[in-house]
Amino acid sequence: MLLSFLVDAPWLALVPAVALFLLFLLATGARHWIIIVAAAAWLLYSIYEMLMLHRVLCSGECNIRIDLLILHPGLIGLTIIALVVGLMRGQRA
């Protein structure tokens, strides 16, 4: 999968979370609810993966991660939409 490196290093999911949050804060004309939702989704995903890594949410064999088939494309899609909305609104302002 495209984001499989996040399974072993879930703290890296904080990078897009912080970037989207900064886009929301710094680009005054780009403030839109979808950007903060995308940042929160990345933050929650980072916490979720951290709990999976430390076997809090998974009590043994977690090698088959069907949840990632939904989570990763969802995060990518949400991020793309947030970036497009943020950049389009930023250009208008």
Predicted pLDDT at 21: 94
Predicted pLDDT at 92: 64
Predicted pLDDT at 4: 78
pLDDT digit string (tens) for the chain, length 93 residues? 567 788 889 999 999 999 999 988 887 766 889 999 999 999 999 999 999 888 888 877 777 788 888 999 999 999 999 999 988 876 665
Residue in 78, 4, 67 with CA at minimum distance from that of residue 43: 78
Count of CA atoms in the C-beta half-sphere (13 A) of 2: 9
CA distances from 53 to 24, 40, 42 (A): 30, 20, 16
Vertex 66 angle, CA 61 and 67, to 5°? 105
Q: Where are the chain's structural domains?
A: 5-92
